[in-house]
Amino acid sequence: TTIVAISYTLLALKQREEIDNRSIGDLFYLMVDELSDLSFVVAFKQLIELFKKISADELVLDDETLNNIISEFLSQLPKNYQRVFW
């Protein structure tokens, strides 16, 4: 029975490695992390564009003031995000 249990465990492991992308190791997690960062950046850019559009529609701020506010906000972000948005 021990041999059968070991055989079953090895077959289950082999099947998992063939169908489960997480078995690739760090590559899976690096890809997932990169995708999540990318989606955040895209969403953030869309949020800034939406803010610009709403401000332009409301005629509350002129373009120069709006750009100064956004530039000041972006300058307060962490350095890795500043590189993306500048």
Rounded to whole angstroms, the Cα distance separating 19 from 23 reads 8
Q: What are phi and psi of 70, to 5 degrees?
A: -65, -40
Query: What is the model's pLDDT at position 9?
Result: 87
Work out the end-to-end distance of the chain between its first and last CA atoms, rounded to an integer number of angstroms. 65
Question: What gap in Å lies between CA 79 and CA 40, rounded to an integer?
Answer: 15
- Say if pTM beats, i.e. exceeds, 0.85: no
Instruction: Flag whether pLDDT at 71 surpasses 80.
Output: yes
Average pLDDT, the chain: 74
Q: Give the three-state DSSP class for 62.
A: coil
Is it the case that residue 32 has pLDDT exceeding 80?
A: no
For the chain, what percent of residues have pLDDT higher than 70? Answer: 67
State the Cα–Cα distance between residues 38 and 36, nearest whole angstrom.
5
Whether pLDDT at 38 is above 60: no
